[in-house]
Amino acid sequence: MVLREPDLDSAEVIVGLSLGHRTLREADHWLTEQVTGLGPDLVACTHLVAEPYPHVALSVAGPAAERLAELAATPPELRAAAARAAGEHAARRSGRAVRFPGAERLVGALTVGELLAAGAVARVVALGGAPVTPDTLVHTRDFVRPQWQDGELVLVTMPHHAGGLAPFEVPDPTPCCAGH
């Protein structure tokens, strides 16, 4: 599924793909391998979909995104999921950004002001009502996955044990029922 954004000067292309990835980690790995070299302005996202079975669909936006569609063809039974991912990305309604402008600079501990100045993340919110100011420290754990919400990339955070905040999504989550 390929969408063109006619109102953008850069003639942005949005590609939706659905290759049946079962986990976010699997989809992240595939995206990371495939988008390398497609340009710094690329935004690559994952989307959890339920049809025709639970899996992770992908969307990639940027001037060179169409090259990605040439690398991997979505199977016919997953085309609706690919179209949904592309549509959600185009509307900036949903999608978890794996690659985005400035992502490589979001490492270590940064203030919210530094994080916002580094690239595409437009807003930082904290679960549980923790205060967020430009001086609030964010421990990135070198793993930042903002989400499209209301037209902007938003990083959802939570309080960090050392003070400040950390992204809500952790780099190596414990699998459900691990050790049982």
pLDDT tens column, 117-135: 998 999 999 998 888 999 9
**pLDDT given at position 4:** 41
Q: Kind and range of the H or E element at 126? A: strand 121-126
Q: Which of the four pLDDT bands, split at 50, 70 and 90, describes residue 1?
A: very low
Q: Is the pLDDT of residue 63 over 60?
A: yes
| Pick from 47-51, 55-59, 156-160, 173-177: least confident | 173-177
Q: Average pLDDT for residues 55-74, to the nearest whole number?
A: 84
Residue 6, pLDDT score? 40
- Please state, for a pLDDT cut of 70, what percent of the chain lies above it: 88
Q: What mean pLDDT is reported for the chain?
A: 88
Domain ranges of the chain: 2-99, 103-167
C-alpha 91/C-alpha 80 separation (Å) is: 16
pLDDT of residue 122: 97
DSSP single-letter state for residue 104: G
Amino acid at 155: L
pLDDT of residue 67: 77
Q: What is the mean pLDDT of residues 86-91?
A: 96
Q: Which residue has the higher pLDDT, 175 or 100?
A: 100
> How many alpha carbons fall within 13 Å on the CB side of residue 163?
5
Least confident of 14-28, 58-72, 150-164: 58-72
Res 173: pLDDT: 61
The answer to whether the pTM exceeds 0.85 is yes
